[in-house]
Amino acid sequence: MPPLARDTGTTRRWACRAGHRQHLAMTPDHLRSLLSRIEQLSPRTLGLLGVAIVMVLIALLQRRWSRQAKAWSSTRPAGLHSDAKAPLFPATPAPLDPGRFPRTYRLSTGWRMFFLLAGLGLVIAPLFGLRHLNPTHDGTVSQQHFREDLQLLCLGGVALGFYLLAYVLRCRVTVAADAIDVQDVMTHRRLRRADILGRRTQRARNAPPTVILVPKDRDAKALKLPQLFSMDADFRDWLTTLPDLDAAEVQQSEKEVAANPAYGATEAERLARLEQARKAAGVFNAGCFALSMWVWIYPRPYEMAIATVALLPWIAVGLIRWSGGLYQFNQKRNSRRPDISIAFIAPSAVLALRAVYDIHILDWQQGLPWAAMGGLVLALLAGTVAGSIRDRLPAMVLLCLLMGAYAYGAALESDRLLDRSQPQLFRVVVEGKHVTRGRHTTWDLKLSPWGPRADAEDVEVSRSFYESVRSGQTVCIGLYRGALNISWFTVWQCAPATMP
C-alpha cells in the first residue's frame, strides 16, 4: 500500500508539472496575439523599446568583457616596466604541439546571442515600421519626403540585420599548426605562421581587446582577431608563441632611457627619474585639463582665465626642452616616456571655442590669416625649442594644426581685450527671438539690418539678456575696430540717452 501511495503521488506531481509546462508553452494563437499587440504599438514606442533592449545587452556584454579580461589576464611578467597593464596572454608560453591542430573556432555564446538578437531586431522592427509607412498621398510634401526617408532608414536597418545574421553563420577562425584562416561574411584571409612578424594587442575602453597579427611583408595588411571567439588553451598557446611586439617596444624604450647619460649617472638613477617624470606628467596633465575646464565652464575672472590657458602650451614646451626630451608630445603608443600632449590639445581647443562663443566677429574670415601664419610660426618655434618634436614629421603636422587653433583663439581674444577704440553705435530692432537646444543651448535674437549688415541675421546672446528683451524692442550695437584690425561688435540694451 505505501508503494502504491508513493506512485500515485509521483504521478500526480508529474501531471502537475506537465500541466504547468503546457500552460507556459507558446501556442500559435498566443504568438498571433503577441504579434497583433506589437503591431498596435506606435513606431516611436517600438524604437524606444528596441533601444532599451540594445542598451541592456550592451551592459551585459560589458560585464562579460570585464570578466573575460580578468580570466585571460595572468600575473605580470618581471621586467623593467612594473606598472604595465596585465597581459592578455601568459608570459611563459607552453611548447606548441602540432598534433592539437587544426582547430576551428566560432563566435562565443554571448556574442552569438547578441548578434542574433540584434540582427533579428534590426530585421523585424523596420518591417513593422514599413507597415506603418505605406506610400500615401496624404499630408504635405515635406511629410511625404520625411516618410520616404524613414522608409530608406528602415531598409538600411533590415540590410544591417541580415548582415549580422550572416556574420553569426559564416564567421569562424581555423587555426593550423603552420597557418591561420579567418572567414568573414564576404572575405577569406589566410596567413602562414612563417610570414608573421609578431602580434600586438589593441585595447579599447568599452570593447573586447583585439589581437593584431603583423606580417613580415610591410606591404601586406595586418590580420585582426577581435576577441569574439571562444578562445581555449590551444588558441592562446598558438598566439602566445608568436613574438610580442608591444613588449619588445616597451623594453626598447626603457633601454633607450637607461642608456642616456643625460638622465642620470647610473642606470638605476635614469630609470628612477623616468618613473618620477611619469608621475609628474600625470599631475601636470590633470592640472592642464582642470584649468581648461575652468576656462570652458566658468571663465571668471575672464582676463586671468584666458591668460592662464594661453600659457599652458609654452609651459609644456619648456618641460620638453628642460628634460632633454624625457617628456614628449604625441608619443608612440608603447613608449615609456611621459606624454604631455594634453597641454597642447586642451588649451588650443578651449581657447578657440571660447573666442568663437564669446566674441561677435563682423567677418570670421579676418581671423584666418592669423590662424594660418600664427599657427605655422608658433609650431616652428615650439619645434625649435623642443628639438624632439621637430625630428618627427607626424608630430609637427599635428602641432601645426593645434597651434593654428591656438593662434586663432589667441588673436581674437587679444583683438578684443587690447582694443581701446571708440565704438560706432547703431540702433537695431529685435525682429524675433528663439532658443536652439542640443548639445549646446543657444539664445538667439534676430536683428534687423544695421551698418555693414545688409540683411537681418541671428546673433547669439546670453540667457539673461535674451530674457530681458522682447520682439519689437530696440537694442544698441557697438562696432569696434579691434586691436588687430579684426572688427567685432557687442549688443546691449539702449539707455534713453545713449543715442541722439
Question: 453-500, pLDDT tens digit by residue?
Answer: 889 999 999 889 999 999 999 999 999 999 999 999 999 988 765 444
Per-residue pLDDT band for 231 (boundaries 50, 70, 90) equals: confident
Per-residue pLDDT band for 157 (boundaries 50, 70, 90) equals: confident
Residues sharing a CB contact under 8 Å with residue 413, sequence separation 6 or more, in sequence order: 306, 310, 351, 354, 355, 359
Average pLDDT over residues 22-40: 58
Identify any residues that bridge with 196 across adjacent strands, giving them in sequence order.
215
Encode 362-383: b = buried (16+ Cβ within 10 Å), e = exposed: eeeebbeebbeebbeebbeebb
For the ranges 114-123, 390-399, 443-452, the lowest mean pLDDT is seen at 390-399
Residues sharing a CB contact under 8 Å with residue 472, sequence separation 6 or more, in sequence order: 429, 430, 431
Per-residue pLDDT band for 29 (boundaries 50, 70, 90) equals: low
pLDDT greater at residue 474 or residue 396 = 474
Residues 352 and 408: their CA atoms lie apart, in Å, by 6
Whole-number pLDDT of residue 306: 95
Whole-number pLDDT of residue 101: 86
Whole-number pLDDT of residue 495: 74
Whole-number pLDDT of residue 22: 47
Cell triple for residue 240? 602566445
pLDDT greater at residue 58 or residue 177 = 177
Per-residue pLDDT band for 1 (boundaries 50, 70, 90) equals: very low
Whose grid coordinates read 557687442? 490
Identify any residues that bridge with 225 across adjacent strands, giving them in sequence order.
211
Whole-number pLDDT of residue 67: 55
Q: How far is CA 418 from the centre of its chain?
A: 38
The mean of the pLDDT values for the chain is 80
Whether 386 has a pLDDT exceeding 70, the answer reads no
Whether 179 has a pLDDT exceeding 90, the answer reads yes
pLDDT greater at residue 117 or residue 21 = 117
Average pLDDT over residues 424-442: 88
Identify any residues that bridge with 453 across adjacent strands, giving them in sequence order.
450
Whole-number pLDDT of residue 81: 39
Percent of the chain with pLDDT over 90: 39
Q: Do 338 and 276 form a contact (C-beta atoms < 8 A)?
A: no
- SS3 string, the chain, reads CHHHHHHHHHHHHHHHHHHHHHHHCCCHHHHHHHHHHHHHCCHHHHHHHHHHHHHHHHHHHHHHHHHHHHHHCCCCCCCCCCCCCCCCCCCCCCCCCHHHCCEEEEECHHHHHHHHHHHHHHHHHHHHHHHHCCCCCCCCHHHHHHHHHHHHHHHHHHHHHHHHHHHHHHCEEEECCCEEEEECCCCEEEEEHHHEEEEEEEEECCEEEEEEEEECCCCCCCEEEECCECCCHHHHHHHHCCCEHHHHHHHHHHHHHHCCHHHCCCHHHHHHHHHHHHHHHHHHHHHHHHHHHHHHHCCCCHHHHHHHHHHHHHHHHHHHHHCCCCCECCCCCCCCCCECCHHHHHHHHHHHHHHHHHCEECCHHHHHHHHHHHHHHHHHHHHHHCHHHHCCHHHHHHHHHHHHHHHHHHHHHHHHHCCCCCCEEEEEEEEEEEEECCCCCEEEEEECCECCECCCEEEEECHHHHHHCCCCCEEEEEEECCCCCCCEEEEEECCCCCCC
pLDDT greater at residue 141 or residue 236 = 236
Q: How far is CA 338 from the centre of its chain?
A: 22
Percent of the chain with pLDDT over 70: 74
Per-residue pLDDT band for 208 (boundaries 50, 70, 90) equals: confident
Average pLDDT over residues 159-187: 90
Angle at alpha carbon of residue 233, lines to 230 and 235, rounded to 5°: 65
pLDDT greater at residue 488 or residue 62 = 488
Question: 357-378, pLDDT tens digit by residue?
Answer: 899 998 888 888 888 888 888 8
Question: 283-306, pLDDT tens digit by residue?
Answer: 999 999 999 999 999 998 999 999
Whether 3 has a pLDDT exceeding 70, the answer reads no
Whether 72 has a pLDDT exceeding 50, the answer reads no
